[in-house]
Amino acid sequence: MGVDGVSPMVDIAVSGLRAQSLRLNLISANIANAETTHTATGRPYRRQDVVLATTPENLGGVTVISIARDQSAFQSVLIPGHPDADEQGYVDMPNVQLPTEMMNLVFASRAYEANVAVLKRYQDMVEATIELLR
């Protein structure tokens, strides 16, 4: 990947922006599906998260290895009369915990902003270099 190879600093910050924005997308998918009891497989929605890794070469930024599904147990809630309820009236609800998602949302957006700060600083430095030509 990499934007254009002009500067590794820009490529690294952009890799961080991409990883965090993907994370934000997954968090919003998790929140939107917090009550989804029926997906294409017929089972409740499983929460998703990114698996991040640092690139093997030195100073290459961050990469997303995969999008993983959380395999923890579903929450069983008593809702008699629900179309997906079993004989006792229990419904398997997604394993999405809203407080956790909100916390991850704050963390991911802060991480995104930090990468934007890096890009802004890079712009400052380039401007200082251009000053030499004035």
Residue 59 contacts other proteins per CB under 8 A: yes
* Least distance in angstroms from the C-beta of 85 to other proteins: 37
Spacing of C-alpha 40 from chain mean position: 22
Q: How far is the CB of 37 from other proteins (least distance, A)?
A: 30
Which of 80, 75, 73, 78 is closest to 92 using CA atoms? 75
Give the span between the Cα atoms of 94 and 44, in whole angstroms: 5
Helices (H) and strands (E) counted in the chain, each on its own, are 2, 4
> Is residue 4 a contact residue for other proteins (CB under 8 A)?
no
Selection from 100, 118, 32, 107 nearest residue 126 by Cα: 118
Q: How far is the CB of 66 from other proteins (least distance, A)?
A: 13
Residues of the shown chain interacting with other proteins in the complex, contacts defined by CB under 8 A? 7-9, 12-13, 15-16, 19-20, 23, 52-54, 58-62, 107-108, 110-111, 114-115, 117-118, 121-122, 124-125, 128-129, 131-132
